[in-house]
């Protein structure tokens, strides 16, 4: 008879460990499959070609477009009929979340639903039907015809960024998420009741969840002046409070809590194909768990009433272009005045052979052969007598006036401006005898010597602004606008009630 070399207790322990291992694997497999089956996906773009390389969700800078859909089908039918949202629906909420590569900063930029923008040509990736480009369209209509990818392409065109992912949630997602975390704390300055959304809150701080949380986010009239701008402030306040609660509860570091929230969210979420897997969602969530809440900044795209319709909004310039340039330069938006360091400008003594492209030459004129670009240290002329004009081909209203003001402060008191055909490249043109003036104008704005060109079509010096001169007063330099941040996730704010909806308690 052969006697076992292993004692009974060791056999029992091995058996228990085997059972636990199998149970653990089964549990993990169950959740993985469940979450994966929950996820709905859609194409990231609607025809725009990606120019950046593949990104690593774990360590690269990420830009994620967050959308709230107004679709009324399925669980959302109680909020209206299908006719209330056509096609793919409208994006009632549109926020661009920018996560820095070092996970130390998150910027969340809100775009008002009534903002008038240019929508590029978009192709519905499901039907291959192409819709033409449109101007002066409300931004929340961008995805109605060609899908979410068209909203992504529109924001890319607007900001000059290239979005990596999108996440679109519906009404039910807000209700279920707020219930899962046990309610979200909100504050209002006065007791309010909005009959349209059904929101009723007393003065001060309240916990909202489910239908009440959804009403808080959907109301268009309860806060501020009753416009969408007041709603954006409330949405940002809600998300700030949610971020504080999730961080205080340690949710992002608790696998069980995280799985429960992930289950709720993924049931009501549509993401792009690159994010349509559980690992990507968990990876991105884990990047946010240790971030300093004072570095989670909420911003609204600078806007003003539109000239064509005061009931709509347009970007306020030059602040909007300055904000987008700061985003492209990856600046910390919680640090007003922070600037990027432009690439060193070449300073050759002559304009390169061939000069700038013909498309940058003033209309009706011809470029002369290359001539020397002087490097004088002190002007040998009277600045106050020099004819210097700014031709605005940047497509940024008010940008030229900003530069004219800088020219006048710099001594060029005869400076003037006019609107010009759009161009992509900024060029300083000069007539015979004005080489030194052109060099000083270029130096004032940090324009490289390679972008100076002699021309017979100008009188004196002409600074022809292109779309590459995006913001600020220095070419190639981005800076953070003052007062651009509405609040950070660390700020506790009360929303100002719309006086028209204040009620007696």
**Which residue in 454, 438, 432 sits closest to 368, CA to CA?**
454
Residue 113, beta-bridge partner list: none
The arrangement of secondary structure in 40-339+487-501, i.e. its CATH architecture, is 3-Layer(aba) Sandwich (3.40)
Does residue 470 contact residue 161 with C-beta atoms inside 8 Å? no
Judged against a pLDDT cut of 90, whether residue 321 lies above it is answered with no
CATH number of 358-465: 3.30.70.2390
Predicted confidence band at 355 (pLDDT cuts at 50, 70, 90)?
very low
Give the containing element (helix H, strand E) for 212: helix 211-218
Average pLDDT over residues 228-252: 87
pLDDT mean across residues, the chain: 82
Structural domain spans, the chain: 40-339+487-501, 358-465
Which of the residue ranges 78-82, 138-142, 456-460 would you say has the lowest mean pLDDT? 78-82
**DSSP calls for 276-340:** -SHHHHHHHHHHTTT--GGGEEEEE--EEE-SS-TTSEEE-TTHHHHHHHHHHTT--TTSTT-B-
- Determine if the peptide bond prior to 318 is cis (ω within 30°): yes
Give the containing element (helix H, strand E) for 13: helix 8-38
Residue 117, beta-bridge partner list: 137
Which of the residue ranges 42-46, 58-62, 267-271 would you say has the lowest mean pLDDT? 267-271
**DSSP calls for 107-133:** EEEE--TTBEEEEPPEE-TTT--EE--
**Which residue in 96, 118, 117 sits closest to 107, CA to CA?**
96
Which of the residue ranges 182-196, 364-378, 448-462 would you say has the lowest mean pLDDT? 364-378
């Amino acid at each position: 008879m052969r006697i076992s070399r292993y004692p009974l207790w060791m056999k029992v322990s091995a058996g228990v460990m085997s059972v636990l291992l199998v149970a653990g694997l089964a549990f993990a497999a169950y959740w993985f499959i469940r979450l994966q089956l929950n996820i709905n996906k859609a194409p990231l773009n609607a025809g725009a070609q990606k120019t950046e390389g593949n990104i690593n969700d774990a360590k690269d800078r990420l830009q994620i477009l967050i959308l709230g859909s107004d679709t009324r089908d399925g669980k959302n039918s109680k909020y209206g009929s299908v006719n209330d949202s056509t096609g793919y629906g409208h994006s009632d909420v549109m926020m661009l979340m920018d996560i820095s590569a070092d996970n130390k900063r998150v910027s969340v930029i809100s775009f008002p639903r009534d903002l008038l923008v240019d929508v590029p040509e978009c192709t519905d990736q499901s039907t291959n039907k192409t819709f033409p480009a449109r101007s002066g369209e409300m931004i929340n209509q961008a995805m109605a015809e060609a899908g979410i990818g068209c909203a992504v392409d529109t924001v890319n065109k607007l900001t000059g960024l290239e979005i990596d992912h999108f996440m679109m949630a519906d009404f039910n997602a807000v209700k279920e998420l707020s219930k899962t975390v046990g309610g979200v704390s909100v504050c209002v300055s006065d007791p309010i009741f909005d009959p349209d959304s059904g929101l009723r809150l007393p003065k001060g701080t309240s916990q909202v969840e489910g239908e009440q949380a959804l009403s808080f986010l959907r109301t268009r009239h309860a806060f501020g002046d009753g416009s969408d701008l007041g709603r954006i402030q409330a949405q940002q306040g809600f998300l700030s409070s949610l971020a504080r609660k999730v961080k205080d509860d340690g949710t992002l570091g608790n696998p069980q809590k995280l799985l429960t929230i992930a289950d709720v969210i993924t049931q009501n979420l549509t993401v792009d194909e690159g994010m349509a897997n559980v690992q990507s969602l968990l990876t991105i969530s884990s990047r946010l768990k240790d971030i300093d809440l004072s570095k989670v900044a909420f911003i609204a795209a600078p806007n003003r009433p539109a000239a064509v319709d005061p009931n709509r909004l347009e970007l306020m310039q030059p602040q909007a272009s300055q904000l987008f340039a700061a985003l492209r330069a990856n600046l910390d938006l919680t640090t007003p005045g922070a600037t990027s360091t432009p690439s060193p400008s070449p300073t050759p003594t002559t304009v390169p052979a061939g000069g700038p492209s013909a498309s940058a030459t003033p209309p009706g004129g011809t470029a002369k052969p290359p001539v020397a670009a002087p490097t004088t240290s002190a002007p040998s002329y009277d600045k106050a007598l020099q004819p210097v004009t700014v031709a605005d081909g940047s497509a940024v209203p008010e940008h030229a006036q900003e530069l004219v003001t800088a020219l006048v402060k710099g001594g060029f008191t005869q400076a003037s401006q006019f609107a010009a055909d759009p161009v992509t490249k900024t060029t300083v043109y000069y007539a015979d005898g004005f080489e030194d003036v052109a060099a000083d104008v270029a130096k004032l704005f940090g324009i490289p010597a390679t972008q100076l060109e002699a021309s017979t079509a100008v009188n004196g010096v002409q600074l022809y602004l292109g779309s590459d001169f995006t913001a600020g007063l220095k070419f190639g330099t981005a800076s953070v606008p003052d007062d651009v941040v509405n609040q950070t996730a660390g700020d506790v704010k009360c929303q100002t009630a719309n006086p028209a909806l204040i009620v007696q308690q």
